[in-house]
Structure 1
Amino acid sequence: MTTEEILPGFSPYTLTGHPEGFAISTSPGDGWLIKITRKDADTTWTERVVAWVLQSSGTVLPLCLEDPGEGSTYFPTLDATLKCHVYHPDAPQTATE
């Protein structure tokens, strides 16, 4: 059974045209979180990392859900208007974080 048969309209190549390089691998988010602060409004919220995307450039990007109702995704660490702190809740936090 193909991905298309399981999830009609889904393409495993959705991320291949990203400016950071072609997506060559993904891994589950595995409990990682991102604390995000909008620089211009000083608004803070936390997002779950749904996947880690390895780009052909060697960059690993955290992928988050932008709109869970639609299933759209985004890379918050690439948005210049956002300050991001990626962490795992089970890891000890340092004072500088």
Structure 2
Amino acid sequence: MRKKEFKKFYSELNKMENEKASQEVEEFLETMKQALSVYPKIVFRNFGTFEIKETKTRRVLDPRGSGEFIQAKPRKFVKFKMSKNLEDKLNNK
């Protein structure tokens, strides 16, 4: 599901106009971005945990095909771990 489809689903689920639903979804996503930039871990009970992880510096083969190894810089990414309740709900369908 893409963001556009999610906005439409959200508007139908909450019986609201597409424009208002789109605005609410965008506000939520922006809030999540700002929260993750301040807090490394966000927990939603009965849903899951969003956590910032960071890779270490490592040697990788040069993708340009020169056959040399280069240093890959560390990078940050968001990891999501679903709660046991959500996992049970999804698996029981």
TM-score (norm 2): 0.26
Instruction: Decide which structure has greater helix share.
Output: 2
Larger radius of gyration: 2
TM-score (norm 1): 0.25
Tell which has more relative contact order, 1 or 2 (C-alpha 8 A, sep 6+): 1
Instruction: Decide which structure has greater strand share.
Output: 1
